């Protein structure tokens, strides 16, 4: 089964000048439990259905398939507006690696997360100067959590 291996970081606004051309993503979660996530995502004029299995370190099984846009829109319509995530994804190269940078809108406006996909968990990654705290293991920054909870950095202490 395909394996997704990625690390996730909070970012500073210093990265924003590098964000030139992005894709608007709108996603909602059809099912989520402690081990599984079923997501529908509209990415520009395309739609995808994605299953993600339990996380182990920075790895998890993932199956993603493109679906007709009309099907994606119908599934997304079943997810309440307040439980959707809206973000613009940019791809930024740094030190020979491509980072996915997500600039969130809506309820999470101002949140910037960067993800780097790797071939193995021990892979060396040169961190860009605009990344901050690593949140790979912080469940609060999983998109499925963000869809139903407030931003972790905006929760009352």
- Tell me the catalytic residues: 29
In the three-class reduction of DSSP (H, G, I as helix; E, B as strand; rest coil), residue 115 is classed as strand
User: Are 105 and 82 within 8 A, CB to CB?
Assistant: no
User: Are 37 and 144 within 8 A, CB to CB?
Assistant: yes
User: Are 88 and 24 within 8 A, CB to CB?
Assistant: yes
Residue 68: DSSP 8-state:
-
């Amino acid at each position: 089964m395909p394996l997704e291996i990625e690390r996730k970081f909070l970012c500073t606004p210093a990265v924003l000048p590098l964000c030139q051309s992005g894709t608007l993503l709108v996603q909602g979660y059809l099912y989520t439990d402690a081990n599984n996530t079923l997501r529908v995502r509209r990415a520009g004029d395309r739609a995808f259905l994605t299953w993600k299995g339990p996380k182990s370190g920075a790895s998890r099984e993932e199956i993603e398939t493109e679906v007709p846009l009309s099907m994606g829109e119908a599934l997304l319509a079943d997810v309440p507006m307040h439980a959707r995530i809206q973000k613009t994804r940019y791809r930024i190269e740094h030190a020979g690696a491509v980072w996915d940078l997500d600039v969130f809108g809506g309820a999470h406006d101002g949140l910037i997360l960067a993800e780097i996909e790797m071939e193995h968990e021990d892979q060396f990654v040169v961190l860009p100067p605009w990344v901050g705290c690593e949140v790979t293991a912080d469940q609060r920054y999983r998109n499925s959590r963000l869809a139903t909870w407030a931003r972790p950095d905006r929760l009352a202490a």
